[in-house]
Chain A
Amino acid sequence: MSSRLWKVGGLAAIAGAIIWLAAGGLSENMVFFLTPAELEARGANIEGQPVRLGGQVKPGSVEWNADTSELRFTIVEGASEIAVESSGAPPAMFQPGTGVVVEGSYGPDRIFRATRLMVKHSNEYAPPEHAGDAAEAYKSLRC
C-alpha cells in the first residue's frame, strides 16, 4: 500500500510542478494587445510593460535614417495616433496603410519603442484599378 502511496504522491508532485511552471510562465509572459486608443487611455499605467500595439501605418509618417538605422513612424487607428520608434530598416512589406503589429513598450515621453515589427497580411482583395506597380508602392514608403 505504501508503494501505491509513493506512486500517487510522485504523480501529484509532477502534476503540481507542471501546473506551477505553467501558471508562473503564463503570468510572466502575458502581453497586452492594444489599439492606439486603448494605449492612450492606459497611459502611465502601462509604461514600461511589454505591449503589442496594432493599427495601420499612417501614410507619410515613415522616416528612416539609413546611416543610423533609426526608424520612426506613426500608427493610427481611428482618431488615435501613436508615434513609434524602432531600430533597423522598415521591412519592405511595411507600406502606408498596411496593418502592422509592433511589440515593445510605451515610454513616459509618449513614444512607443518597438523591438519587433510584424506585418499583418490580410486576405482582403484590392480591386485591380487601385493596383500600382512595385516601384511606386515602394517609393510611397518614403513619401
Chain B
Amino acid sequence: MLSLSLLGAASIIAGFLGAALAVFFGTRAALSKSAGKLSAVIARRSAYFAFFALTAGMAVMEAALLGHDFSVEYVARVGSRETPAYYTAISLWSSLEGSILFWGWILAGYGALFAFTRRREIGRKMDARGQPAQERQLRGRRSSARERVATTGGRLAPELRATPLVTAVIGVVQLFFFGLLMGPANPFGFVDPAPVNGPGPNPLLQNHPLMGLHPPMLYFGFVGMTVPFAFAISGLLLGNIEARWLRDARRWMVAAWAFLTMGIIGGGWWSYEVLGWGGAWAWDPVENASFLPWLTATAFLHSAMVQGRRGMLKTWNLSLIIGTFLLTLFGTFLTRSGVIDSVHAFTEGAIGPAFLAFIAVVAVGSLALVGWRSGRLHAPGQVESAASRESAFILNNLLLVAFTFTVLLGTMFPLAVEALRGSRISVGPPYFNMVASPIGLALLFLMGVGPALPWRRASGEQLKRSFIVPAGAGTIAGVAAAAGGMREFLPILTISFAAFVMATIVKEFVKGVRARRAIAGRSAGRALLDLFVLNGQRYGGYVVHAGVVVVALAISVSWTWKSEREMTLRHGERLAIKDYEVEFTDVWSREEAHRDVIGATVQAYRDGRPIGIEQPRLNFYRTRQQMIATPAVRSSLTSDLYLILMAVEPERGEHVTIRAIVNPGIAWLWIGGMIMGVGALVAIVPRRRGRVKGAGAELIAGAAVAAK
C-alpha cells in the first residue's frame, strides 16, 4: 500500500537529488569551458525541481495532518482529532521534524526564486545538447539583445558565472537540511500499528491564532539569510564583489531582514498574548537566538552603503553576512537541540551534533575563503574625517557588533559554566537590560546623526545647518518631558533622542520633496511618492528608522510606567488600577473538543465609564494534562489593560484571583515593528526607473539643493 510516509520520504529524496544536481551543475557552469550554459540551465531547473519536490513533501505532510493519518510518526506526536483544523494545519511547525521540513521548503523556495529572478541571463530556449535554438527563437517571440549574446557559444561570460554558483551554494545548504530530513529529523517516520488518536500540539502553541503568523515570518527571515550567504561564498570564489554583487546581496538581505523583523516583533506579540506575564520580551535564549542574526544583518545593511559609496569595508561586509548566516544556524541549534535545558542534552538527539558539525564546516570554510581572497579585498579608501557619514556607519557597526557579543555572552555563559564547572546558573534579564539600554540609546542617537552627515567630510557650516533643527527638537522634547513631570532619566533621554531622530527624518523628506518639485514640477504628494520610487533604499530606510523610533518609545514608556496589581475578588467587588477598574461578575466553564475552559467574566471600566466585558481564562488541555492561562487583553493606543485569571475558588466559584497589568503604549511596539517591516519592503520593491519623469536629474537636483 502506498502510504503517505512513503510518499513524503520519496519527495524528500527527490528534493535531495535536485539539490545535488544544482550543486554539481551550478559549480560546473562556473568552471566549464564548453558546457557552461547547458550546466547553468540544468542548475536552474534543478533548483526548481527541488522546490517542487519539497512542496510535494509539505503537501503530503499537510494531508497527513489534516487527514489525521496517525501512521505518520510526526502526526502521531503532534496531531489529534480534537484539535481545530487551523491549529492542526499550523502544527507543521510545532515540533522539531515538521519545523525542519518547513525550513527545507522555504530554503528550496528561496533557491528557486533566486534562480527564477535570474532566468533571463541565459536563453531559455535550448535544445538537448545545450545549443541555443536560435532559429526558433528568431522566428518566435523576439528575444532581447542580451539574451542572444548570452546564448552564443558554450562558455559562460564571467559576469554570468555568479548565478549558477549562488544556486550551487544554496544547494549545499539544502543538502544539509534535506539530509536532516532523511535521517535525524525525518518527519515521515512510519508507525505500525497506527494509534487511533494523538495528543495534539504543545498547548502553548495552539492557544493563539498568532501562532500561524509569527513562526513563518521568523523562518522566512532566518532561511532568507542563506541567499546573501551564498552571494558571499560565490563572490569570494569568483573574486568579484563589486557593484552588482553588492546591490543584489543587499536586496536579498533586506528582504530576509524585513521578515525577521516582523517575526521577532510578532514573537513578542505572541508571547504577550499567550504567556501571561504581561510583557513581550524576556531575554529568553530562544528570543536571543532570533535577535542575534538580526543585529548583524542590521550592521551589514548599513556598512554595505559604505562599500557602495566608498569601496571600503569589503572583508568586514563579507564577515557580517557569513556571521549572520552562522548565527541563524547557531540559533536553530540552540532552540532545536535541547542544549538550553542542559549542555549535555544535545547529544541525545542526532540534530545537535549535526548542526554543530555543519556550523564548524561553514565557519572554517568561509574563514579560509576570506583568507585566500584577502589580497583582492583590500580597501582602497579610508575614513577621512570623524564628522562623515561613513564614520557614523562604522560607529553604528561597532555598537551593533558589541550588542551581538554581549547578548551572545549572556546567552552562552550559563552553557559554558555548566560545561566547565557542572553547576547550573542563569543570567537574568537585568544583565541584558543593563547592556541593552546604553547601546540601544547610542544607536538611537546615531540614527539622527548618520543620515544628516555628508559622505567624506562635513564642514562646520554643514554641521550647523544639518543639526540645528533636530538638536533643537530633541532638546525641547527632553525639557518638555521633564517639565511635564517625568523624573526617570532613561525615558526622558529616549524621548529626547526620538524627537531628534524624527526631526532628521522629516528634514530629509522635506529636502527630497522640494528637490522633486523643483526638478519635475510635481505636486507635494506625487513628489513624495517619487522619492520612494526613485530611491527606495534611502527613503524606505528612513521609514524603517521611524519605525525604530516608535518601537524605542514604546519599549521605554511601557517598561517605565507599567503597573501591576493582584487581588482576590468576590462577586461585585472591584479592582482598581491606574485609570481602570475591573468588576468581577461571573465564573463559567465550557467543554470544547480538545480542552476545558474555565473563565471569569469581568466588567472593565476606564475613568469610571464601562468599556466592555473581558474574559480571562484558564484552558485545560486534557491530553497533555496542562493548564494554560490565557490573558484577556484590552488594547488601546494609549494603554493596554491585561488581565490574568490566577485562580478560581473551586467549589462554587465564589471568588477569583485576578492579576491586572496596565501597560502604557505597548500597542506601539507592534505598530512600530510593522512600520519597520513595511519600510524595508518598500526599499526593495522592484520598480522601473524609466517611468519616472526626470529620474536622471535626481543627482543634479540633490546637488542643487545641497548647494543652496
Question: A residues within 8 Å of B by Cβ?
Answer: 3, 6-7, 11, 14-15, 18, 21-22, 25-26, 28-34, 50, 52, 64, 66-67, 69, 88-93, 95, 121, 123-126, 128, 130-135, 137-139, 141-142
Q: Hey, which chain B residues are within 8 Å of A15, CB to CB?
A: 398, 402
- The answer to the question of B6 belonging to the interface, with a C-beta cut-off of 8 Å to chain A, is no
Interface class of chain A by DSSP: mixed
B693 to chain A, nearest CB (A): 44
B441 to chain A, nearest CB (A): 13
Interface class of chain B by DSSP: mixed
Q: When the two chains form their complex, are residues B646 and A128 in contact, meaning their CB atoms are under 8 A apart?
A: no
Q: Can you offer 9 A-B residue contacts whose CB atoms are under 8 A?
A: A3-B386, A6-B386, A21-B434, A25-B431, A26-B413, A50-B428, A52-B426, A134-B589, A141-B647
Q: When the two chains form their complex, are residues B624 and A126 in contact, meaning their CB atoms are under 8 A apart?
A: yes
Q: Hey, which chain B residues are within 8 Å of A121, CB to CB?
A: 202-204, 626, 628
Chain B, 617-660, contact with A by CB distance < 8 Å: what is the 0/1 string? 01010111111110000000000000001111110000101010
Give me the 10 closest cross-chain CB pairs, A-B, nearest first: A134-B596, A134-B620, A89-B657, A29-B431, A33-B424, A89-B647, A89-B646, A93-B627, A125-B199, A25-B431
Q: When the two chains form their complex, are residues A26 and B629 in contact, meaning their CB atoms are under 8 A apart?
A: no
Q: When the two chains form their complex, are residues A26 and B647 in contact, meaning their CB atoms are under 8 A apart?
A: no
Q: When the two chains form their complex, are residues B402 and A26 in contact, meaning their CB atoms are under 8 A apart?
A: no
Residue of B nearest to A64 (CB): B647
Select one of A6, A50, A69, A137 contacting B625, CB under 8 A. A137
Q: When the two chains form their complex, are residues A93 and B402 in contact, meaning their CB atoms are under 8 A apart?
A: no
Query: Which of chain B's residues 380-436 have a Cβ closer than 8 Å to chain A?
Result: 383, 386, 398-399, 402, 405-406, 409-410, 413-414, 423-428, 430-431, 434-435
Complex CA–CA separation, A34 to B626 (angstroms):
24
Q: Hey, which chain A residues are within 8 Å of B197, CB to CB?
A: 128
Complex CA–CA separation, A125 to B200 (angstroms):
9
Q: Hey, which chain A residues are within 8 Å of B628, CB to CB?
A: 93, 121
- The answer to the question of B598 belonging to the interface, with a C-beta cut-off of 8 Å to chain A, is yes
Q: Hey, which chain A residues are within 8 Å of B383, CB to CB?
A: 7
Complex CA–CA separation, A103 to B234 (angstroms):
50
Complex CA–CA separation, A142 to B649 (angstroms):
10
- The answer to the question of B439 belonging to the interface, with a C-beta cut-off of 8 Å to chain A, is yes
Complex CA–CA separation, A34 to B422 (angstroms):
11
Q: When the two chains form their complex, are residues B625 and A25 in contact, meaning their CB atoms are under 8 A apart?
A: no
A92 to chain B, nearest CB (A): 5
Which of B383, B434, B438, B566 has the most CB atoms of chain A within a 10 A radius of its CB? Answer: B434
Residue of A nearest to B619 (CB): A134
Q: When the two chains form their complex, are residues A14 and B650 in contact, meaning their CB atoms are under 8 A apart?
A: no
Q: When the two chains form their complex, are residues A131 and B622 in contact, meaning their CB atoms are under 8 A apart?
A: yes
- The answer to the question of B603 belonging to the interface, with a C-beta cut-off of 8 Å to chain A, is no
Residue of A nearest to B410 (CB): A26
- The answer to the question of B134 belonging to the interface, with a C-beta cut-off of 8 Å to chain A, is no
A17 to chain B, nearest CB (A): 8
Q: When the two chains form their complex, are residues B650 and A138 in contact, meaning their CB atoms are under 8 A apart?
A: yes
